[in-house]
Structure 1
Amino acid sequence: MIRYWKLISIVSVIVLAIGTFYIQSAVALSNYPRFVFQKISGDEEEVENIKLQGSYHDEGMQDGNLHITSDETVYYNELSFLERLGGVNQPSRITRLREEHRNFMRGKDRDLSMLYDDESMIGYANVAAGPFGSGNRDFEIKVEVLDKKSNSTTKFTVDLPEKERYRYVYVEDVQIVNGEMKVITRNYSYETNSDNTEMHLYSLDIGGQKVVGDDVLITSSESYVGGAWSAVEFLDETHNLSSSKYIVYNINHWKDVQEKEGNYYQEKAGSEISAYHMETGKHIQFELPEEISQANYKASVDGSIIYFSIGTETGFEVIAFNMDRQKEESSQRLEITRPIVDIEEDLIKVKDGKVYISSSNKAPDRESNISVIDLESGKLLYEGFIELEKQQSNRNYSLYIHQMIVEK
C-alpha cells in the first residue's frame, strides 16, 4: 500500500509541476507585448524571410529573449519545456531537421556552428573537455554524421591535436568537403593568456575516423595593450548549415585617442580581411583599398563576394569585393533619407542582390526602421518600422535586436 501512495505522490508532483509551468507560461503570454513590421511603402513579401533575434526589457517585468518575424513575436518564456530545449531563435531549416531527423538531432540543435547539412548528410562536431582543474584540459572532438539515404549514423571521438596547449576551445563552424569534415575553432592558449587567439581548421577523415590536418588560419592577441587592441571575428555568414566556398575572418584594430578636454574615445586604426578557400586549402590575404580598411564598415558575405557597407551623410555606400579576383568589383552609393543608416549600430546584410537593414534597438521615443533595397538599382523595395501592436500600452521598454537572419 505504501508503494502505491509513493507512486500517487510522485505523479501528483509531476502533474502539479507541469500545470504550474503552463499557468506561468499563459501569464507570460498575456504580459509580453507583440511587435509587428509596420509598412510605409513597398512589398510586404520582401520582409517575409527576415527573422530578428533580440531581447525585451521592461520596467516591472522580467526580461525576455525573443524573435520577431512578419507573422509573429515569440518569447522564450512562452515556449513549452520541449520547445525550450530547442531554443526560441532557431531558423526554419533547423525546425525541419528536427522534424525529419528527430533521433539524430536530439540535443544537437542549440548551436548552429556545430552543424552541417546538405542533400545527402548531416554532420555534427563538438569539442568537449574534461573537468577544469589545476592541470590541462582533456579536449576531444566528438563527431556524428548521418547518411540520409541509409539512415545510418557514424560516430567517433578523436583527441584534439596538441590539446595540452589550450585553455578553451570553441567551435565556430562545421563543413564537409570531399568526404572530409572541416571543424573551424577558436582556441585560447595557455602559453600567454586567454586573450591570445588561434583560429584553427581541423580536417577529419570520416571513413578513417582520424584527424588528417590542423591548419592555423590566424593568430592574434585580443589583449588591451598600450591603449590599443584588436578583435578577431568570423563573418556571420560563415555560421550556417551549408557549404561555404570561403571561410572569411576579419581583424579590426582599435586605439584610444585623447581629446583636448582629456577624455578618450576609440578610433579605428585599420582592418584586415583574410579567407581560407575550403576546397584548395589556400590562405588568401586581401589588400583592401584604404577607403575600406580605414573606415567603419559592416561586412557581409554572399558567395565569393564580400560587401562592405560604409556610412555616408545621406545613406551609405556598398562596395563589392570579389574574393576570386581579389579586387574591388563594383560600388553603389545608396542615398536614402529614411532610414539614415547608422553603420556603428544598425544590422546590415547583403543577400541575393538585396540589402537588408534593421535598427538595433527600439524604445517608445526611438524609431526602429526595417528596409530592403535592391542593390543594383538602389530602389527601395520595402520601408517600414518595428512597432508595438495596436491596443497595447506604450510602456517604458527597450527592445534590443542582436541579430538579423535572412532565410532563403
Structure 2
Amino acid sequence: MKKYWKSCLISIFIVLVIGSFYIQSAYSASKLPDFFIKTVEGKGEEFKGITLDGYLNALGSEQPLEINRNSTKYQSERSYFEEIKDSETDSITIRNLQRQYPEFMRSSKQVFEDAFFEDDKMLVSAFVDFKYNKVLDSSFVIKVLDKRDEKVRSMNLPIPNVKNYAYVWVQEVQYIDGQLMVVSNNNPHDGENHEIHVYSFDIGKKKLLDDRTILSENDPTFDYIYMRQTDNSKENNYIVLRKQTVDPEKPAYINQPLFIYNLHEQVEVKFNIANSDIKNVNETGEGNYYDKNNLYILGIKNGTATVSIYHLAGLEPHKSIRIPLGGKEAFFTAHNIWKRQIYFASSEGEDSDKKLIIADLQNGNILYKGVVQSKKHINNLSATLQIHGITIDK
C-alpha cells in the first residue's frame, strides 16, 4: 500500500482542483443574466431547434454562451465530460449521425461533415489514412453502411502517385450515377502547386475508376475557399470555390472569379455573376451558400440584407430578394440557411438589441422576428452581448 500513497494523493488533489473549478464556475455563472427570445412577429414554432451562439463580455471576461428559445447555457456551466465530448466536433450533422449510427461512426473515426455522404439507402465515409515512410504512403479508407441490412463494407484503396504529394485531404464525398466521388485537396512537395482532384470509385467492386485533376494552380500565392453547403452530407452535383491570390505588396488577398464544377457532367460551369455580387462574395467571405440547385450570395445595404440567387445549371435568370433587418444602421452578425428558410442574427451596434429574423428564401417574406431579452438588467453588469453563430437542429 505504501508505494501507492503518492498516486492516491495526486488523484485526490486533481479531484479537489477540478471540483473547486466547477463550483467557482457555477457560482460565477449564477451571477450572469439568463437570456431568452421574445417573439415580436410570427409563430414561435419557427424558432424550434434553433440556438444562437455568442458570448457575453461581463465580469472582466468573455463568457461563451448558447441561447435557445427559453433559456441560456454558459460554457462555464458545462460539465467536464460535456466539454470533452463536444470538443470533438461542433457539427450538429455529425452529432446526429453519432446518435443514429454509433458503431459505424466510431469505426470511421471522422468528425468532419466533408467526409460523409448520406441518402436513404446508405451512409458513406471516406478519409485518408495518413502514413509516412520517408514519403507519404497513404490510402483512401472508405466505409459504406447499407441501411437496408445494416452491413458495413470497408475498403482501403491506394492513392495514385501518392508519393508526389506532401498531403492529401478529403474535402467532399458524393454518390452520383452509381459512382462514389471523392473530392480532395492535393499539395505536391514543391509547395508551389495547388491541385483539386476528383476520384471516382466503384464501391461494389472496390475499385478506383478515375483520377481527374479539375483545378491546378502553379502559384505559391494562390489559395481557395470552399463555399458553404446548406447540408454537406446530402447529395449535390456541384462544388463551388472562391479563388484568391495573396497580394505580394501587402498582407491582403486579391480575389478571383468563382470556380464552379459539375460533378455529374464532369465539367466546369461558367456563367455571369453581377459585379455587385462578386463584391459581396469578397466582402462577406464565408457568408455565401449553395445547395444542389442554387448559389446564394449575401450582402447588406442600408439595413437591408440582400440575397442573390443563381441557378447553378444556368437554366434560369438570377433573382434577388431583400430582407429588412432594422434601421439603416442594422447589419447581420450571423446567418444560416436551412431548407427554404434563411436566418439572420442582426444588430445596430454593440449596445443595441440583438434580433433573430427568419425569412422565406423564395420571396423574402418575414416568417419570424424575435428579440433577445434578459431576465436580469444586463446594464448593471456593464456587459455587452455578441451573437456570432446560428445553429439549426430540426
Normalising by the smaller structure, the TM-score range is: 0.7 to 0.9
User: The residue matched to 1:113 in structure 2 has which SS?
Assistant: helix
Matching residue of 2:293: 304
Are 1:361 and 1:398, in contact at CA under 8 Å, matched by a contact in 2? Answer: no
Are 1:362 and 1:399, in contact at CA under 8 Å, matched by a contact in 2? Answer: no
User: The residue matched to 1:126 in structure 2 has which SS?
Assistant: strand
Change in Cα spacing, 1:255 to 1:46, as seen in structure 2 (3 Å) is: farther
Q: Distance in 1 between matches of 2:349 and 2:138?
A: 42
Question: What do you get for the CA RMSD once the two structures are aligned?
Answer: 4.0
Change in Cα spacing, 1:339 to 1:28, as seen in structure 2 (3 Å) is: farther
Q: Distance in 2 between matches of 1:149 and 1:41?
A: 44
Q: Distance in 2 between matches of 1:140 and 1:238?
A: 29
Equivalent pairs counted in the alignment come to 384
Q: Distance in 2 between matches of 1:184 and 1:37?
A: 40
Q: Distance in 2 between matches of 1:158 and 1:143?
A: 8
TM-score by length of 1: 0.75
- Asked if 1:277 corresponds to 2:262, the answer is yes
Q: Distance in 2 between matches of 1:98 and 1:146?
A: 13
Residues 103-114 of structure 1 mapped to structure 2, 5 A cutoff:
103-106=103-106, 108=109, 110-114=111-115
Which residue identity is paired with 1:233? I
Q: Percent identity?
A: 19
Change in Cα spacing, 1:357 to 1:286, as seen in structure 2 (3 Å) is: same
Change in Cα spacing, 1:400 to 1:217, as seen in structure 2 (3 Å) is: farther
Matching residue of 1:251: 243
Matching residue of 1:124: 125
Change in Cα spacing, 1:192 to 1:101, as seen in structure 2 (3 Å) is: closer
Unaligned runs of 5+ in 1: 225-229, 258-263
Residues 180-329 of structure 1 mapped to structure 2, 5 A cutoff:
180-193=179-192, 196-220=193-217, 223-224=220-221, 231-237=223-229, 240-252=232-244, 271-295=256-280, 296-297=283-284, 298-325=287-314, 328-329=317-318
Q: Which moved more, 1:146-155 or 1:27-36?
A: 27-36
Q: Distance in 1 between matches of 2:245 and 2:70?
A: 40
User: 1:356 Cα shift?
Assistant: 1.5
Are 2:122 and 2:145, in contact at CA under 8 Å, matched by a contact in 1? Answer: yes
Matching residue of 1:380: 366
Give CA deviations for 1:81-126 in whole Å, capped at 9, x if unaligned: 2773344864555444323322222273532222222222221122
Give CA deviations for 1:272-311 in whole Å, capped at 9, x if unaligned: 2232333333331333233322444542224311122232
User: The residue matched to 1:332 in structure 2 has which SS?
Assistant: strand
Which residue identity is paired with 1:113? D
Residues 9-408 of structure 1 mapped to structure 2, 5 A cutoff:
21=18, 24-25=21-22, 27-32=24-29, 33=32, 34-53=34-53, 60=60, 67-74=66-73, 78-81=78-81, 84-87=84-87, 90=90, 92-106=92-106, 108=109, 110-131=111-132, 135-193=134-192, 196-220=193-217, 223-224=220-221, 231-237=223-229, 240-252=232-244, 271-295=256-280, 296-297=283-284, 298-325=287-314, 328-338=317-327, 340=329, 342=331, 346-359=333-346, 365=351, 367-390=353-376, 394=381, 396=383, 399=386, 401=388, 403-408=389-394
Are 2:329 and 2:348, in contact at CA under 8 Å, matched by a contact in 1? Answer: no
Change in Cα spacing, 1:58 to 1:223, as seen in structure 2 (3 Å) is: farther
Unaligned runs of 5+ in 2: none
Give CA deviations for 1:163-196 in whole Å, capped at 9, x if unaligned: 2232233322223334433222223332234xx4
Which residue identity is paired with 1:285? K
